[in-house]
Amino acid sequence: MDSTDISMEIYDAKGKLVNSFSSKKDATYKRYDGGPPPAPKLDKKEGLNRFVWNMGHAIMPGVKDTYIEANYRGHRAIPGTYTIKLKVEDAVQETKVEIKEVPTYDIKPSQYEAFDVFMTETEANLTEMHTMVNTLFNAKNQLKKVLKKVKDESLKKEGKALLEELDAWDKDMVQRKSKAYDDVENFPNKFTAEYLFLINATNSSVPRVNQSSIDRRKELDTQWTGLRQRGKNVENVKIPAFNKKLWEAGIGAIQL
């Protein structure tokens, strides 16, 4: 049993994956101040084991070693029927559970649904943002090392311009100088922190989206359209084009 991994998947009534858990430790996880917590692990000791789902969606990723005073946990699952699948090798045990409405809440089914859609989309956006930030920051660090090997002045100049573009985009996205909760007084928060604050403010114990959250997301999504386009242009166009020149010069490429 010690060598057997256990997994649990939770699906909503529409078949959408809400969250998943494993007995296997995430080897890529690193704890740092202002970052996300580790995902809960399933216990697989011999005998009876107990696991408590907090009725939340998956934890969102952070930006490595970057402090953001925020909560990375996914939003609370709305009332409804959920399917839980526990997998041990080829064996699957399945059961259904129900999350009931709080009877004192005056919330319509359509409001619960709107909340779930809003939060799911917003958390997916934040996940894409931080994934792109981590990818391009890694590319930037590789580029710094690669440029030390470049002898051709024209190629080096082009590489430095690409490095400056990566650095400028990164500084628009995240504030890497903050190391503690009061650092925001000296180092203003950047874009993804503002987006994460919106998620936290909307993820109330009363699952209902207010107009202020809708308006704020429109503002931030407009900014994200431009920032995303800049990031994708570097990732999908400029880095591959520069990699081609590096290969032609006999120098290793930047890996994404």
Is the pLDDT assigned to residue 231 strictly greater than 90? Answer: yes
To the nearest whole percent, how much of the chain has pLDDT over 90? 83
pLDDT for residue 218 = 98
pLDDT band at 90; cut points 50, 70, 90? confident
Helix boundaries (H) for 44-152: 109-147
The residue behind tokens 């202002």 is: 34
Mean pLDDT, residues 166-172 taken together: 98
Asked whether residue 2 is assigned to any structural domain, the reply reads no
Asked whether residue 3 is assigned to any structural domain, the reply reads no
In DSSP terms, 41 is beta-bridged to 22
pLDDT for residue 2 = 65
pLDDT for residue 46 = 83
pLDDT band at 186; cut points 50, 70, 90? confident
The residue count of the chain comes to: 256
pLDDT band at 203; cut points 50, 70, 90? very high
pLDDT for residue 99 = 96
Asked whether residue 106 is assigned to any structural domain, the reply reads no
When divided into structural domains, the chain yields a total of 1
Pick the residue with more confidence: 66 or 3? 66
Mean pLDDT, residues 215-230 taken together: 98
Mean pLDDT, residues 228-246 taken together: 96
Give backbone dihedrals phi and psi of 9, rounded to 5 degrees, phi first: -125, 140
Specify whether the CB–CB gap between 119 and 57 falls below 8 A: yes
Asked whether residue 198 is assigned to any structural domain, the reply reads yes
- CB burial string 236-252: b at 16+ within 10 A, e below: eeebeebbebbeeeebe
Provide the residue range defining the domain that includes 217. Answer: 112-248
Mean pLDDT, residues 119-138 taken together: 98
Asked whether residue 43 is assigned to any structural domain, the reply reads no
pLDDT for residue 44 = 87
pLDDT for residue 197 = 96
Specify whether the CB–CB gap between 191 and 75 falls below 8 A: no
pLDDT for residue 210 = 93
Pick the residue with more confidence: 199 or 184? 199
DSSP state of 183: G
Query: What is the overall mean pLDDT for the chain?
Result: 93
To the nearest whole percent, how much of the chain has pLDDT over 70? 99
pLDDT for residue 206 = 86
In DSSP terms, 39 is beta-bridged to none
Asked whether residue 211 is assigned to any structural domain, the reply reads yes
**pLDDT tens per residue, range 133-146:** 999 999 999 999 99
Tokens of residue 161, six digits:
């311009």
Is the pLDDT assigned to residue 181 strictly greater than 90? Answer: no
Is the pLDDT assigned to residue 20 strictly greater than 90? Answer: yes
Distance between CA atoms of 79 and 108, rounded to whole angstroms?
11
pLDDT band at 93; cut points 50, 70, 90? very high
**pLDDT tens per residue, range 41-79:** 999 888 888 999 999 999 999 999 999 999 999 999 999
Cα separations in angstroms, 74 against 66, 83, 189 = 19, 18, 21
